[in-house]
Structure formats: structure tokens, C-alpha cells
């Protein structure tokens, strides 16, 4: 291949460009009508009651931690196999991050490891859990909800990889990732390589009206201009004109722009087709690597994998990574375990703490996975991997 094949790539259509251009010609660039339209459309797609558009997925995580009451000393459990933002959001609020190992069969946070960690401490020691739908494989949030209720914990689902994904619980009920039926809050990302590309951007979903209203205020500096939410007038403020507003708590400017919302809304109109194409690509990879030295994760039939990433595992990961680069195939590694990052090692985490996560990391490689990957490009990737492993 003459042109590099990346592990992920956005797909921008003429309709997307037209949607953004319409905003540029209009009166609003930042806070305009496309934001509310995007929130409503996204909530309908996911199947939740409320959606709050924000600047990016990391901002979504941070605001969720604030709304859930994370402060200095709050202890939260998450997975070491994730992008660091899933843990950093707790640290932004002064909380303490605890990791639990992953299930080697799925690379998802292992509920048994979480339970073991909870049982090592008195009830009330921990406040919440942040499971991650890693690579697009949905976490069994019903099982985590049961565990969280047992220990009086909140649940924040990191669904950045999984819009459109779902799992079926033990009662045979299907739950879409982030639909608000199990987690208190869930978050999504609109980074260019994600299912919906808005340049940057994120979304928080929930069925909790109180959390929803709190998040709306937090994303806008903690300010409200809604009369129903006002407290007492400022000292020396005899009347409340149309200019009146209240800074009720310390928030952030984590707002999405109208331009990004228009782009996201345009992308949302074809998200099902793009998801179907990702799943088609995954099936071709699955078939190609079955019976080879390449290990793959194939979900059960009652799980709808969203395939943000297609991850293989192989003993000579570095060798394959370098070999593919000579072929102009830009495979990537997701992720270096968060507990091994220098920042987190200062809190006492060290190699050997989570052997399943570290074993996964030593062998994982993400192959190209995006809707516009052509059949010829995928065939070239498959041929190259098979050549390396001698299949």
C-alpha cells in the first residue's frame, strides 16, 4: 500500500461539511440551537432520558465526578486497561484511584476482582466504580449495579468506545450502553476516531433529573440564569433585570460549540450504518485469524460489540508492530496500563499488581478499524499479519 493505513480515521461527508457551513453563516457559533438538537437526538438514539453535551470525553468524566460528589479522600475503583482519563477524572476532584484487575477473556474490569477489593475494606470505604466498555465490548452493568447496590456505590459507565453496543442481562433484558437503566451516569466521546466525530466533544447521559440539572450548571461555570433556580439577590441588588444570573458553585467552561454539535448531529444520522460496517470488518478479521497464533476476543451472541477497536493478542507484539509499519500499516497499542504510568506509581502502584492487565498489555495490538476501511485494505492487513505469524 502506498498510503498508510491508520488504526482509526474519521469519515467526513459533504453533508457534514454543509451542516457546519450553515452554522458558520448563522448567528451562533458557540451556544446555539444545534446543541439542544444534538442532545435530544443522542438521548433518543441511546435510549436515555437526558443528555448533556460537553467539550470532550475527559470533561464529561470530570463533570460526572463533580456531580457525584467526588472530593478529597473519595475512593473510586476503575480498570487499569483504559485511557488515563477514566482515572484522572477522580484525581481532578482530589479523590483516590484504586484499580482492580481485568478479566483475561474480555479485557474488561473483572467484577470478581472488584468484589475482592471491596471485601478487603469496611463498607463505606469506597464511593463508586467506573467500569469501561473497552474497545466497544459492553460491561455487564447489571452485575455491577447489583454489586454497587450491595455496597452503596454509584456507577459511572465510560462508554466512549461503545455507542450502539448492548448486552443482555441474566433476565434476558437487553441494555444499550449508556441508556441510564443501570449506571447513574455514562459518558461518550466524539474524538475523530470514535463512532461519531465532532472534532472534539463529549456527551453525558442519565435518567436522573437532579444529576442532569446539576451537570447543566457545572458545564457553564456553575452559573444559572433560570429564575426558578435563583436564591437570594446579591447584596445591594434591589431588583433582578434580564441580565441577572447567579454563580452558585465553582464550575467550568466545558461547553460544546454549535459548530461541533451540528457536525455530531449530522454524523449521528448514519451512525447505525457505520456501526454495521465496523461489525462487518470485525467478522472478517475473526474469520481470518481463527485457528492461527493470533488470539482474538469474540463476544457471545447476546452481546452487541461496538468495535471502536479491533484488538488482537500475540506473543511477539513488538515484532508484529514493527513489521506492519514496514508495510505502511499503522497498528496501535491500547493501552499501557494506567497503574504503570509514572504519575500513578507515586501512589504505590507497581508492576505485578495486576497480572491479567499486564499480560494483556504485553500482547495487545489494535488493527485498523474504521468504517471507510476498504475490503482491499483489510485484506492487505490480514495478509500481512498472517505472513508474520506464518499462517
Q: How far is CA 196 from the centre of its chain?
A: 12
The stretch 27-32 carries a mean pLDDT of: 91
- For domain 271-389, the question of CATH label 3.90.1150.10 is answered with yes
The stretch 108-112 carries a mean pLDDT of: 98
Q: Residue 299, exposed/middle/buried by CB under 10 A (0-12, 13-18, 19+)?
A: middle
- pLDDT exceeds cutoff 70 at 233: no
pLDDT at 243: 84
| Residue-wise pLDDT tens digits, 142-198 | 999 999 999 999 999 999 999 999 999 999 999 999 999 999 999 999 999 999 999
For residue 247, list its beta bridge partners.
223
Q: How much of the chain, in percent, has pLDDT values that exceed 70? A: 98
- pLDDT exceeds cutoff 70 at 236: no
Q: Domain 5-268 adopts which CATH fold?
A: 3.40.640
CB 163 within 8 A of CB 190: no
Just list the catalytic residues.
194
Do the domains 5-268 and 271-389 sit in the same CATH topology, yes or no? Answer: no
Backbone angles phi, psi at 178, to 5 degrees: 80, 15
Domain boundaries, the chain: 5-268, 271-389
| Residue-wise pLDDT tens digits, 38-94 | 999 999 999 999 999 999 999 999 999 999 999 999 999 999 999 999 999 999 999
Amino acid at each position: 500500500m502506498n498510503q498508510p493505513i491508520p488504526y482509526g480515521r474519521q469519515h467526513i461527508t459533504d453533508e457534514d461539511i454543509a451542516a457546519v457551513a450553515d452554522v458558520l453563516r448563522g448567528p451562533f457559533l458557540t451556544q446555539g440551537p444545534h446543541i439542544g438538537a444534538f442532545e435530544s437526538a443522542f438521548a433518543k438514539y441511546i435510549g436515555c432520558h437526558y443528555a448533556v453535551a460537553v467539550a470532550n470525553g475527559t470533561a464529561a468524566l470530570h463533570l460526572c465526578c463533580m456531580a457525584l460528589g467526588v472530593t478529597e479522600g473519595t475512593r473510586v475503583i476503575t480498570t487499569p486497561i483504559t485511557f488515563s482519563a477514566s482515572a484522572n477524572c477522580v484525581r481532578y476532584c482530589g479523590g483516590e484511584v484504586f484499580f482492580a484487575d481485568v478479566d483475561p477473556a474480555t479485557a474488561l474490569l473483572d467484577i470478581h476482582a472488584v468484589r475482592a477489593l471491596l471485601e478487603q475494606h469496611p463498607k463505606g470505604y469506597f464511593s463508586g466504580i467506573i467500569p469501561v466498555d473497552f474497545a466497544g465490548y459492553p460491561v455487564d452493568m447489571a452485575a455491577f449495579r447489583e454489586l454497587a447496590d450491595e455496597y452503596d456505590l454509584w456507577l459511572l459507565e465510560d462508554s466512549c468506545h461503545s455507542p450502539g453496543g448492548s448486552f443482555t442481562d441474566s433476565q434476558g433484558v437487553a441494555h444499550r450502553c449508556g441508556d441510564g437503566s443501570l449506571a447513574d451516569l455514562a459518558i461518550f466521546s466524539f474524538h475523530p476516531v470514535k463512532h461519531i466525530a465532532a472534532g472534539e466533544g463529549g456527551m453525558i447521559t442519565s435518567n436522573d433529573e437532579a444529576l442532569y440539572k446539576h451537570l447543566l450548571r457545572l458545564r457553564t461555570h456553575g452559573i444559572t440564569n433560570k429564575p426558578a433556580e435563583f436564591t437570594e439577590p446579591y447584596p445591594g441588588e434591589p431588583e433582578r433585570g434580564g441580565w441577572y444570573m447567579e454563580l452558585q458553585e465553582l464550575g467550568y467552561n466545558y461547553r460544546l460549540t454549535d459548530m461541533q454539535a451540528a457536525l455530531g448531529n449530522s454524523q449521528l444520522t448514519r451512525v447505525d450504518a457505520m456501526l454495521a460496517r465496523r461489525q462487518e470488518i470485525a467478522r472478517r478479521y475473526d474469520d481470518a485469524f481463527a485457528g492461527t497464533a493470533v488470539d482474538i476476543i469474540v463476544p457471545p451472541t447476546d452481546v452487541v460489540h461496538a468495535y471502536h477497536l479491533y484488538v488482537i493478542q500475540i506473543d511477539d507484539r513488538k515484532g508484529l508492530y514493527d513489521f506492519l509499519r514496514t508495510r505502511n500499516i499503522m497498528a496501535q497499542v491500547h493501552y499501557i496500563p494506567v497503574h504503570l504510568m509514572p504519575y500513578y506509581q507515586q501512589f504505590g502502584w507497581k508492576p505485578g499488581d495486576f497480572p491479567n492487565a499486564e499480560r494483556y498489555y504485553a500482547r495487545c495490538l489494535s488493527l485498523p478499524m474504521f468504517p471507510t476501511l476498504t475490503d482491499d485494505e483489510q485484506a492487505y492487513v490480514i495478509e500481512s499479519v498472517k505472513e508474520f505469524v506464518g499462517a
